[in-house]
Amino acid sequence: MTKRFKTLLILLLLLSSESIAFSPEYERQMYIGCYGNSKQYLGVNEAKKYCLCTINMLSEKYSDEQMDLIFKKKPNEILKATQFSTLHCEKK
């Protein structure tokens, strides 16, 4: 019984973690937008690092669909939902 429970728990964790991550195409689109906006302020190398960091953090918390819903909100709500990633990645 315990072995079955552990197996089920591992399976659920694996499946749930996949559903939260961005799809490769969504990640690519996010990177293009981020990099295009950031390189003029941060420079090429720093913009690349910053965007990859930010996208990875957002992908750990949100799915494509969740991000689409966030981007439909008012600017201050978008900032509130994504601020954790930008603050973290600005420090790196």
Give the pTM: 0.75
- Is pLDDT of 83 > 60? yes
Structure confidence at residue 7 (pLDDT): 52
Name the more confident of 15 and 77: 77
Say how far apart CA 23 and CA 63 lie, in whole Å.
Answer: 8
> Is residue 32 classed exposed, middle or buried when 0-12, 13-18 and 19+ CB atoms within 10 A define those classes?
exposed
Task: Give the C-alpha separation, 47 to 23, whole Å.
Answer: 21
Q: What is the pLDDT of residue 6?
A: 54
Given a contact cutoff of 8 angstroms between Cβ atoms, the answer to whether 47 and 35 are in contact is yes
Which segments of the chain does DSSP mark as H helices, in order? 2-20, 24-42, 44-61, 64-71, 75-91
What is the pLDDT, as a whole number, of residue 9?
Answer: 47
Q: Is the pLDDT of residue 37 over 80?
A: yes
90 pLDDT more than 70 = yes
